[in-house]
Amino acid sequence: MAPAFTASADMTRRAANANIAPGPRPSVLDTIGRTPIVRLNNIGPKHVALYAKLEAFNPMGSVKDRLALGVIEAAEQAGLLKPGQTVVEGSSGNTGIGLAMVCAQKGYPLVVVMAENFSIERRKLLRFLGAKVVLTPASEKGTGMLAKARELAETHGWFLTRQFENEANADVHSRTTAREILEDFAELGLDYWVTGFGTGGTLKGVSRVLKAESPQTTIVVAEPDNSQILASGIAQTRQADGSAAASHPSFRPHPMQGWSPDFIPKLTGDVVEAGLIDRMEPVSGAAAMQGAKDLASKEGIFAGITGGATLAAALRVAEAAEPGTRILAMIPDTGERYLSTPLFDGVPEDMTEAEQAISTSTPLCRFDVATVSPTAVLPLDAAPAATAFVEDTIGDPQQPVVMFALEWCEFCRSVRKLFAAAGIPFRSVDLDSGSFKAPASSTEIRKALFLLTGAPTIPQIFVGCELIGGATDAFDAFNCGALQTRLEKYGVPFDKDLKADAYSFLPKWLHPR
Ligand code: PMP
């Protein structure tokens, strides 16, 4: 019999963290916030205590999940957002991704306007979550992206979340992030809180609460060293609604996606005017990347570039701090969102020399010596029903292009992609598919195929009863035009203008060139 169910200490802690009773949460939105603060043990000088607040623990992996829920629920309560109304926002990614989660759960269509220079992963994530992504030229910068979002909202009557000016953004951080920090440091006390700013929602919402309730905490704001729009002291020109009237003159492109747009957002400007910032820390792009790498490889914390940058600023604070000083760095998101950015430059795809040395230190599964197949038994005959099935299939005049395939085999998928791109109608006989029906077993059919073609591998491709061969044979035949000649011979239509290297349809790891 299964042991009686008792709540473990871990479970009790988890339930307490979520601020709701144990049991299923009403929805994914009830998992936002209550992110953990962890001690960093292997980074930084030993005389201080460094901590990181890990916003990647939010369901869509960033601090912006808080804002997304905050602005949507505030708009619902104020009657500004009607059921089924489209939501629109200009976003470098994380806000859009958070909004996409909230809109998916609550049933609002979402359009995210994003400058083309933000990472591809973000676009794909948004579309996967059901949002539409409208790209804007990188040359138009953040202000152009936001102007486009505003124009779309005005033209179509959509709800614009106005993350850079919306007080609900700062309010959600005062209600949640700030309270979490105060609770977690209630006994220890906190000497420094280090953050950057994107909208300034985190900065405004948290700093005003800390100033009021933990006045001994020094507020440190980091920004890219080549784009010091705050430290420059140059004020931002604004329109009547608080949005920026023009790019800030000190803005320069920097790698910290999500930080320091090309203007000082209203929410950030409010913090400057209120005098809540005690110290500014410029951070170089290289230090930000190194910070993210150190978090990953020394602490096992997978953070994005701005998390690395915040750590770098916190380390600067740590250098000159008194012994025993407690420093908290905000870590806004996960590194998984940056695989295609400079953060992963130099992270190799292939085995390094050191890895190859490990590989060749034992005999099995190596690339430098061919694996000898242990006593492959070649079939001498096949069930007559299987042979008849193969012959009938390749001889079907209605469907002259046939591929005997495996449903999820990468080579088969690549051939399907080539045929789709070239507009070639074909039949894929997926021998391992759950829905595959034939008068003989797939094992017998593979035997029959071997006896016909002499090849033990799948896929095997035919045009009008003539064997083309396997995937690479089909790619070679396409590249030299022999496949097209065969298609014409059997009256199969195809796109004569397609100019492509057939091998480009293979995933990179299978690419022989
Ligand atoms: N880091 C990343 C990766 C972000 O996406 C953002 C938000 N754009 C921030 C930091 C800054 O957060 P906030 O908007 O609250 O200032």
Is the distance from the beta carbon of residue 198 to the nearest atom of ligand 1 less than 6 Å?
Answer: yes
Mutating to test ligand 1, I would choose from 95, 146, 163, 199 the residue with most ligand atoms within 8 A of its C-beta, which is 199
Residue 81 and residue 43 share a domain: no
Is the distance from the beta carbon of residue 174 to the nearest atom of ligand 1 less than 6 Å?
Answer: no
Residue 323 and residue 217 share a domain: yes
Q: Give how many domains the chain has, as a whole number.
A: 3
User: Average pLDDT in the 365-380 region?
Assistant: 73
**Ligand 1 centroid distance, CA of 259 (Å):** 6
Q: In this model, does residue 425 exceed pLDDT 90?
A: yes
Residue 275 and residue 201 share a domain: yes
Q: Could you report the per-residue pLDDT of 176-202, keeping only the tens digit for each?
A: 999 999 999 999 999 999 999 999 999
Residue 297 and residue 321 share a domain: yes
User: Average pLDDT in the 117-123 region?
Assistant: 83
Residue 178 and residue 93 share a domain: no
pLDDT for the residue numbered 403: 98
Residue 306 and residue 197 share a domain: yes
Q: Which residue has the higher pLDDT, 417 or 380?
A: 417
Q: Which of 135, 160, 185 is the last residue of a domain?
A: 160
pLDDT for the residue numbered 376: 62
Cα separation of 490 and 374, whole Å? 41
**Helix, strand, coil abundance in the chain, percent, nearest 5:** 40, 15, 45
Left (φ > 0), alpha (ψ -120 to 50) or beta: where does 426 sit? Answer: beta
User: Which residue carries 């035949």 as its tokens?
Assistant: 477
Q: Give 497's pLDDT tier (boundaries 50, 70, 90).
A: very high
**Ligand 1 centroid distance, CA of 356 (Å):** 40
Q: In this model, does residue 106 exceed pLDDT 80?
A: yes
Vertex 307, ends 44 and 102: CA angle to 5°? 150
Residue 361 lies in a domain: no
Residues pairing with 449 in the sheet = none
Q: Give 10's pLDDT tier (boundaries 50, 70, 90).
A: very low
Is the distance from the beta carbon of residue 201 to the nearest atom of ligand 1 less than 6 Å?
Answer: yes
Q: In this model, does residue 427 exceed pLDDT 80?
A: yes
Annotated active-site residue in 53, 64, 266, 447: 64
Residue 249 lies in a domain: no
pTM of the model: 0.84
**Ligand 1 centroid distance, CA of 221 (Å):** 13
Q: Could you report the per-residue pLDDT of 24-48, keeping only the tens digit for each?
A: 999 999 999 999 999 999 999 999 9
Residue 14 lies in a domain: no
Residue 377 lies in a domain: no
User: Average pLDDT in the 65-91 region?
Assistant: 97
Domain residues for 326? 28-59+167-240+259-344
Q: Could you report the per-residue pLDDT of 312-328, keeping only the tens digit for each?
A: 999 999 999 999 999 99
User: Of the candidates 90, 134, 130, which has an alpha carbon nearest to the alpha carbon of residue 106?
Assistant: 130
Residue 476 lies in a domain: yes
pLDDT for the residue numbered 143: 87
Q: In this model, does residue 16 exceed pLDDT 50?
A: no
User: Average pLDDT in the 76-81 region?
Assistant: 98
Residue 71 and residue 32 share a domain: no
Residue 254 lies in a domain: no
Residue 415 and residue 288 share a domain: no
pLDDT for the residue numbered 369: 81
Residue of the nearest CA to atom 11 in ligand 1?
198
Residue 249 and residue 255 in contact, taking contact as beta carbons nearer than 8 Å: no
Is the distance from the beta carbon of residue 255 to the nearest atom of ligand 1 less than 6 Å?
Answer: no
Cα separation of 448 and 454, whole Å? 10
pLDDT for the residue numbered 21: 73
Is the distance from the beta carbon of residue 197 to the nearest atom of ligand 1 less than 6 Å?
Answer: yes
Residue 210 and residue 332 share a domain: yes
Residue 464 and residue 331 share a domain: no
Is 64 annotated as catalytic?
yes
**Ligand 1 centroid distance, CA of 64 (Å):** 7
Is the distance from the beta carbon of residue 57 to the nearest atom of ligand 1 less than 6 Å?
Answer: no
Percent of the chain with pLDDT strictly greater than 70: 94
Is the distance from the beta carbon of residue 202 to the nearest atom of ligand 1 less than 6 Å?
Answer: yes
User: Which residue carries 């990614």 as its tokens?
Assistant: 93
**Ligand 1 centroid distance, CA of 399 (Å):** 54
Q: Give 13's pLDDT tier (boundaries 50, 70, 90).
A: very low
User: Of the candidates 169, 214, 141, which has an alpha carbon nearest to the alpha carbon of residue 69?
Assistant: 169
Q: Which of 145, 160, 175 is the last residue of a domain?
A: 160
Mutating to test ligand 1, I would choose from 58, 306, 311, 330 the residue with most ligand atoms within 8 A of its C-beta, which is 306
pLDDT for the residue numbered 372: 56
**Ligand 1 centroid distance, CA of 67 (Å):** 10
Q: What is the mean pLDDT of the chain?
A: 93
Q: Which of 160, 175, 196 is the last residue of a domain?
A: 160
Residue 365 lies in a domain: no
Residue 192 and residue 315 share a domain: yes
CATH code at position 407: 3.40.30.10
Residue 111 lies in a domain: yes
pLDDT for the residue numbered 5: 37
Structure tokens at 348: 């190799």
Residue 231 and residue 103 share a domain: no
User: Average pLDDT in the 276-304 region?
Assistant: 98
Query: If you ran DSSP here, which 8-state letter would residue 303 be given?
Result: B
Residue of the nearest CA to atom 12 in ligand 1?
198
CATH code at position 34: 3.40.50.1100
Q: Could you report the per-residue pLDDT of 231-286, keeping only the tens digit for each?
A: 999 999 999 999 999 999 999 999 999 999 999 999 999 999 999 999 999 999 99
Q: In this model, does residue 356 exceed pLDDT 80?
A: yes
